């Protein structure tokens, strides 16, 4: 397969102060894109922006909470003001939420996760879609999770939100298909990195098991006994946003080392 380039494309990535979103920003920038990215920690984002600009790249950091509708509007407007349009939107911002039995959950604990994991991607799509429709091209990728399809105890808010994201993906894909705009979801299994260690610590507390036991349990979900990597999620995002994926829309791609097979 040829090297995938995005020269001159305007790419918006949410949740970019660390993890998958941060790597996506770096990879898209390396591939020639103009990158616009957000997270809540503005100081971290500004550092990433400064680093990219020092290398002569076009980069814009926007401090925004994607759980807030107005912030999503401001993010997309900033991209359009700076670079004229939005060609690619990757909704990577996500929170794990509390881990508790369903009978102990408080209503606002579900709301908080739904706001960031579902309303955020919906709002960014809502504001970006008219630009993609106008130019009759565009690609949207939502980062879901295996947890939406393979239940785990104590994770009601997270699982509910990630399953809902697939519904959003498919409906948006249908509505935008006539305009040659595509929308797909990637559902990763546990990804090596900072976040999974936090999830392990929370699960250990919620289930009274040692962190080591929980980590082994996560690994054991995979018949390959492996976690996936941020690089792989970026590679799949590149594929879906490029011409290689031009006939892929409404899909949910499991990247789970075999945990989920449907
Ligand atoms: N890591 C895994 O094991 C795993 C597995 C399956 C699915 N996923 C999904 O993959 C996506 C990326 O995960 P990751 O591993 O990169 O997680 P991460 O390392 O925790 O990074 C999450 C990013 O999202 C940002 N963020 C969180 N809430 C936000 C909000 N309200 N508004 C704007 N930005 C927000 C965070 O920055 P700030 O704190 O600065 O806002 C951070 O930059 C998430 O949707 C996650 O659910 C991850």
pLDDT tens digit string along 4-30? Answer: 999 999 999 999 999 999 999 999 999
Contact 89, 123 (CB under 8 A): no
**Amino acid 34: pLDDT:** 99
Q: How far is the CA of 178 from the centre of ligand 1 (A)?
A: 31
Using CB distances shorter than 6 Å, the residues near ligand 1 are 14-21, 38-41, 65-67, 92-95, 116, 143, 145, 188, 190-191, 193-196
Q: In what order do the strands lie in the sheet with 59-63?
A: 59-63, 34-39, 10-14, 88-91, 138-143, 181-188, 252-255
Domain 10-189+229-255 listed as CATH 3.90.320.10: no
pLDDT on residue 190: 94
pLDDT at 54: 98
**Chain position carrying tokens 């909470």:** 65
pLDDT, one tens digit per residue, over 128-178 is 999 999 999 999 999 999 999 999 999 999 999 999 999 999 999 999 999
- Most informative mutation of 19, 69, 196 for ligand 1 (most atoms within 8 A of CB): 19
Distance of CA 226 to the CA centre of its chain: 21
Those residues whose C-beta lies under 8 Å from the C-beta of residue 82, and which sit 6 or more positions away, are 34, 36, 60
Q: Looking at ligand 1, which atom is closest to the CA of residue 41?
A: 40
The residue whose CA has the least distance to atom 1 of ligand 1 is 191
Taking CA atoms only, the protein residue closest to ligand 1 atom 41 is: 40
Looking at residue 218, its pLDDT comes to 86
- Please, what is the angle between helix 69-83 and helix 120-135, to 10°? 30
Average pLDDT over residues 196-210: 88
Among 66-70, 80-84, 117-121, 211-215, name the one with the lowest average pLDDT. Answer: 211-215
CA 179 vs CA 78, 129, 225, 248: distances in Å: 23, 10, 41, 14
* Ligand 1 atom index nearest CA of 198: 20
Burial class (CB in 10 A: 0-12, 13-18, 19+), 134: exposed
Which 3 state secondary structure label does DSSP give 28?
helix
Contact of 230 with 193, CB cutoff 8 Å: yes
1, pLDDT greater than 80: no
Share of the chain above pLDDT 70, in %: 100
User: Mean pLDDT throughout 187-197?
Assistant: 93
Let me know if 201 is exposed, middle or buried by CB neighbors in 10 A (0-12, 13-18, 19+).
Answer: middle
Average pLDDT on 112-126 reads: 98
Question: Closest Cα to atom 5, ligand 1: which residue?
Answer: 190
Residue 58 has pLDDT above 80, yes or no: yes
Residues belonging to the active site: 158
* Every domain range in the chain assigned CATH 3.40.50.720: 10-189+229-255
pLDDT in the model for residue 160: 97
Q: Any residues with CB less than 8 A from the CB of 184 and at least 6 apart, and which? A: 139, 140, 141, 142, 169, 173, 240, 245, 248, 249, 250, 251, 252, 253
| Most informative mutation of 15, 141, 233 for ligand 1 (most atoms within 8 A of CB) | 15
- Measured in Å, residue 247 CA sits from the centre of ligand 1 at 28
Q: Which pLDDT value is given to residue 107?
A: 84
| Residue 64 zone, left/alpha/beta (φ > 0; ψ -120 to 50; rest) | beta
Q: Across the chain, what does the average pLDDT equal?
A: 97
Q: How many CA atoms lie within 13 A of 117 on its CB side?
A: 29
């Amino acid at each position: 397969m040829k090297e995938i380039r995005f020269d001159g494309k305007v790419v918006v990535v949410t949740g970019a102060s660390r993890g998958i979103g941060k790597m996506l920003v770096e990879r898209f920038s390396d591939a020639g894109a103009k990158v616009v990215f957000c997270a809540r920690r503005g100081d971290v984002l500004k550092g990433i922006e400064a680093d990219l600009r020092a290398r002569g790249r076009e980069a814009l950091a926007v401090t925004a909470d994607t759980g807030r509708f107005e912030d999503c509007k401001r993010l997309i407007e900033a991209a359009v003001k700076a670079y004229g349009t939005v060609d690619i939107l990757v909704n990577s911002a996500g929170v794990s939420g509390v881990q508790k039995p369903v009978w102990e959950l408080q209503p606002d604990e579900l709301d908080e996760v739904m706001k960031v994991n579902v309303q955020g991607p919906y709002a960014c799509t809502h504001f970006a879609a008219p630009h993609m429709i106008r130019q009759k091209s565009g690609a949207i990728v939502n980062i879901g999770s295996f947890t939406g399809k393979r239940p785990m105890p104590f994770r009601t808010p997270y699982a509910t939100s990630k399953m809902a994201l697939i519904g959003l993906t498919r409906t948006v894909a249908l509505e935008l298909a006539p305009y040659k705009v595509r929308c797909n979801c990637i559902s990763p299994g546990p990804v090596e990195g900072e976040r999974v260690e936090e999830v392990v610590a929370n699960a250990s507390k919620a289930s009274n098991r040692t962190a080591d036991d929980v980590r082994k349990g996560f690994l054991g979900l995979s018949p390959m006994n492996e976690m996936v990597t941020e690089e792989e999620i970026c590679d799949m995002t590149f594929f879906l946003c490029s011409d290689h994926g031009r006939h892929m829309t409404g899909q949910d791609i499991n990247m789970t080392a075999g945990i989920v097979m449907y």
